[in-house]
Structure formats: C-alpha cells, structure tokens
C-alpha cells in the first residue's frame, strides 16, 4: 500500500542542512505529500505537508518537483534532537482517510 | 505532550485475557485511526473511523475489535491475542478541516502478549 520510497538511512553534520529525499512516482493529481518524524518510543510527529507548491514552516521546508513524482524535506540547521526516523507519506485520495507510511529514513545528526 | 492521549502506556496480557486500549482527543476531530507498529518497522494502518462510523478495516483479525463510542473516544478491544501481536499501538485523529488535514498521533500503548 505504501506509495513512497526513501533511502533507509542518512547522516548529517550538526548545524548543516539535512536534505531527505522521497520518491512518489505514482502520486495522483490531488494527493498530498506529508512528512512525519518519529523519535524512539514516541508517536509520529507531524512536520509539514504540500500538494504542488513548495512549503515552509518553523520546522522545515518541503520542495516538490514540478511533475510531483518526488519531494525533499529540508531541515535547514540540523541539531542532535533532529535524530529520528523520517517518514514521507502520500495520502490516498479516494476516501481521504488513508495515510500509508513508507519505510522511512533513519537520520543521524553527528556532532 | 500530545493532544491525543492513549492509555495505558504499557500493557502486558496473557493469550486468554481480554483487555482494551483507549484513546481520547478533544480537538474536535471527526476521524480517528488505529495503527500497529512492530519494532524497527513503519506504522501499519488497522482501522479508520469517520464521524463515529467504521470506514476502513485493513483486513485486521477479529481478535482486534474497534469501537468509537463518541467523536472524542476510540477503543481497541483485545481478545485471544498471540505473542506476535506484541507491538506499539498508535492512535491518531484528524479533520474535518479540509482534505489535507494532517494526522495527530498519541504516544502509543506498548503491548506485550505472553
């Protein structure tokens, strides 16, 4: 059911930008892309979402390619507390209520 | 702290026991979800309730029985579970705020079946 693919792991130096890619080549025209992260033993935390325009909030930026087949989550200045598993999710549009998680990227921020 | 509260945080039960997991939200959300997460795996969707009606059941075994008594509460009744059902059970809610309303998750109940 997952409609996204992500690299299993990435490292990033503290203070540098972390760029996390996601492929969603089968996305439909009205399906949103969401990003969540999960720190060990906690529930997933919402980060950001978008449809076709780039989005920015206090946590991150989301860049969606023009063909919408991939996106990148950018954490502009990674800190040690950003070490987590990051999930890219496409919300299935038929009912609007199906959020299927991909396998996620384990990001390690290195001091 | 999250706005979705799950109780208990931890639960140990035998294979013949009956227990329930509880989830509560007071954000006015009208859709509520149960996910199951095994160690080092992504969350897997189990059930979705929309406006207190079951809208999605992802072919979950009948030993898991969901219930939505009102728009703020979601229960998951457990009976005759197997050791392989041990996992983190996550509750989430969203909506109505438009078709792009993100999910809000609780911190889960860690279930161990002995």
Give residue A68's pLDDT: 92
Residue of A97, A100, A105 for testing the chain B interface, max B β-carbons within 10 Å: A97
Beta strands in B8-94 (DSSP E): 10-13, 18-25, 31-37, 44-50, 53-57, 64-70, 73-79, 87-94
Quick: pLDDT tens for B43-66: 999 999 999 999 999 999 999 999
Residues A25-28: contacts with CB within 8 Å, 24+ apart?
A25/A69, A25/A70, A27/A3, A27/A68, A27/A69, A27/A90, A28/A93
Taking the C-alpha atoms of residue B56 and residue A27, their distance in angstroms, rounded to an integer, is 21
What mean pLDDT do residues A81-94 have? 88
- B45/A96 touch (CB, cutoff 8 Å), yes or no: no
Identify the pLDDT of residue A1.
Answer: 53
Q: What is the mean pLDDT of residues A22-35?
A: 89
Average pLDDT of every residue of chain A: 92
Distance in angstroms (rounded) separating the CA atoms of residues B38 and B36: 7
Query: Is pLDDT at B76 greater than 70 in this prediction?
Result: yes
Q: Give yes or no for residue A41 having a pLDDT over 90.
A: no
Measured distance between the N- and C-terminal CA atoms of chain A, rounded to whole angstroms? 36
Residue B71 has pLDDT above 70, yes or no: yes
The mean per-residue pLDDT over the stretch B67-75 comes to 95
Mean pLDDT of A34-63: 94
Per mean pLDDT, which range of B21-25, B37-41, B95-99 is the poorest?
B95-99
What is the share, in percent, of chain B residues with pLDDT greater than 70?
Answer: 96
Average pLDDT of the residues in A23-44 = 90
As a whole number, the mean pLDDT across chain B is: 93
- Residues contacting B34, CB < 8 A, separation 6+: B23, B45, B46, B47, B66, B74, B76, B89, B90, B91
**Whole-angstrom distance, CA of residue B46 vs CA of residue B52:** 16
C-alpha distances (whole Å) from B30 to each of B54, B105, B111 are: 12, 14, 26
Q: What is the mean pLDDT of residues A19-46?
A: 92
Q: What is the mean pLDDT of residues B13-29?
A: 95
Confidence of residue A100 (pLDDT cuts 50, 70, 90): confident
* R_g (Cα) of chain B, nearest Å: 13
Residue A94 has pLDDT above 70, yes or no: no
pLDDT, residue B100, reads: 79
Mutate to test the interface with A, among B47, B100, B101 (most CBs of A within 10 A): B100
Of B3, B2, B92, nearest in space to B44 by CA: B92
- B98: region left, alpha or beta (phi > 0 left; psi from -120 to 50 alpha): left
CB-based contact A95 B33, cutoff 8 Å: no
**Closest Cβ opposite residue A103 in set B42, B100, B102:** B42
Q: Closest approach of chain B CAs to the CA of A107, in angstroms?
A: 14
Count how many pairs of residues, chain A against chain B, have C-beta atoms within 8 Å.
Answer: 62
């Amino acid at each position: 059911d997952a409609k996204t693919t992500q690299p299993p792991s990435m490292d990033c130096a503290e203070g540098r930008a972390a760029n996390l890619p996601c492929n969603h080549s089968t996305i439909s025209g009205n399906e949103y892309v969401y990003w969540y992260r999960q720190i060990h033993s906690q529930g997933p935390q919402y980060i950001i979402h978008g449809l076709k325009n780039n989005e920015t909030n206090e946590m991150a930026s989301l860049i969606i390619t023009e063909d919408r087949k991939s996106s990148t989550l950018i954490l502009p200045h990674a800190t040690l507390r950003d070490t987590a598993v990051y999930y890219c999710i496409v919300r299935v549009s038929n009912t609007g209520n199906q959020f299927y998680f991909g396998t996620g990227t384990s990001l390690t921020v290195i001091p | 702290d999250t706005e979705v509260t799950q109780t208990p945080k931890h639960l140990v039960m035998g294979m013949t026991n009956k227990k329930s997991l509880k989830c509560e939200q007071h954000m006015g959300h009208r859709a509520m979800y149960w996910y199951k997460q095994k160690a080092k795996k992504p969350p897997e969707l189990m059930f979705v309730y929309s406006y207190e009606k079951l809208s999605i059941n992802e072919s979950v075994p009948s030993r898991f029985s969901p219930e939505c008594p009102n728009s703020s509460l979601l229960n998951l009744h457990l009976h005759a579970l197997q050791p392989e059902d041990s996992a983190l059970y996550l509750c989430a809610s969203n909506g109505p705020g438009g078709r792009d309303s993100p999910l809000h998750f609780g911190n889960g109940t860690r279930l161990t079946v002995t």
